[in-house]
Amino acid sequence: MDGRVSISELEKVYGEGAERTKAIEDLTFEVDGGEFASVVGPSGCGKSTLLYLIAGFLDVTSGTISVDGNPIQGPGTDRGVVFQNYALFPWRTVFENVTYGLEEDGVPKEERQSIAQQYIDMVDLSGFEEKYPKELSGGMKQRVALARTLAYEPKILLMDEPFGALDQPLRESLQDQLLDIWGDLEKTVVFITHDVEEAVYLSERVMIMTRHPGTKKTVSEINLDRSGSREEIVTSDAFADYKNTVWKSLHEETQTEVTL
């Protein structure tokens, strides 16, 4: 399937001379097309930097990042980013936010409107088309941001702690909504979080990063039976085992952080 992200011997250095800091070192990782992969790590481990490198917002210092075999060159519509702070255009209504990418792509107006409506419905925001972002709650804003990103149909979703600013019940409902959408649309998802439970619940694989400079520490395959309800999943023994494994690996890193 399309949407494969290949990261090879990646290195990212910020600044020069005495200011020089290595954010990411020798990181090799592959996300299959259609896979849901999470990245967890202690704060400052470079996980957001990794996402911005994949997005093409930052330039790599050395190594390569490719999408379906083609090295990325800056931002592009094959990928879509969802930020923690939503990054909606405040001067545009919900509807106008969702049509932005289609406008830029030159999609004719009528088609634009039907596509936008389809994705607004998908995130359960019909009736809010003419609202401005300031009139929406955090959860609704994040759903608009998701619809805006989905509307121009990128193969890959890059999500930077998208639910980190939301309270627990809201976060859970958005997680389930994201899983439904992922199941329906067959997107590749690279999901950055510091929440172990969130990573295990959502992902097929979780990469744990070391602390400073960040690199791949371990990768956990998560083979959960996701046919049941959230309650059945999160109370299962398998879920607890995966969570413990990831937590222990992450905890070793946060321990080093404390002793430093």
Partner 1 sequence: MGYATSRHIEGLPAPLQRVAGALVDWIPLAIVVVLWDLISGAVVATAILPAPGTVAGKIVELFVTGQVFSHLYISLFRVVVGLGLSIIAGILLGIGMARSDPVENFFDVFLAMTYPIPKTALVPLAILWLGVGTSTAILIVFLACLLPIVLNSYNAAGNVDQNLIWSAEMMGTEGRDVLLKVIFPATIPEILTGIRQAVPIAFVALVSAELIASNQGMGYLILTSGQIGNYPRMFANIVVISAVAFVAVRLFEEVRERWLVWT
165 binds partner 1 (CB under 8 A): no
Residue 232 interacting with partner 1 (CB under 8 A): no
Site for partner 1 in 118-147 (CB under 8 A): 132-134
Strands (DSSP E) contained in the chain are 5-14, 21-31, 36-40, 62-67, 70-71, 79-82, 156-160, 188-192, 205-209, 216-221
Among 5, 40, 72, 81, binds partner 1 (CB under 8 A): 81
Binds partner 1 by CB under 8 A, chosen from 3, 101, 162, 213: 101
Q: Which one of the spans 42-50, 65-73, 75-83, 216-224 is the region binding partner 1 (CB under 8 A)?
A: 75-83
Query: According to CB under 8 A, which one of 77, 118, 244, 256 is a site residue for partner 1?
Result: 77
Is position 111 an interface residue for partner 1 (rule: CB under 8 A)?
no
State both tokens at 27. Answer: 């990181």
By CB under 8 A, residue 225 contacts partner 1: no
Q: In the bound complex, what is the minimum distance in angstroms from residue 85's beta carbon to partner 1?
A: 6
Strand pairing partners for 159?
A: 82, 191
- Indicate the residue among 90 and 127 with the shorter CB distance to partner 1: 90
Alpha carbons 259 and 139: distance in angstroms, whole number: 37
- When asked if residue 89 is in the footprint of partner 1 (CB under 8 A), the reply is yes
Q: Is 236 in the site for partner 1 (CB under 8 A)?
A: no
C-alpha–C-alpha distance, residues 81 and 87, integer Å: 10
Residue 93 DSSP symbol: -
Q: What is residue 227's DSSP assignment?
A: T
Are the C-beta atoms of 32 and 221 separated by less than 8 Å?
Answer: no
Which residues are paired to 220 by β-bridges?
A: 206
Q: How many residues bind partner 1 (CB under 8 A)?
A: 25
Instruction: Count Cα neighbours of 108 within 13 Å in the Cβ-side half-sphere.
Output: 2
Q: Enumerate binding residues for partner 1 (CB under 8 A).
A: 55, 57, 74-77, 79-81, 83, 85, 87, 89-92, 100-101, 104-105, 132-134, 148, 152
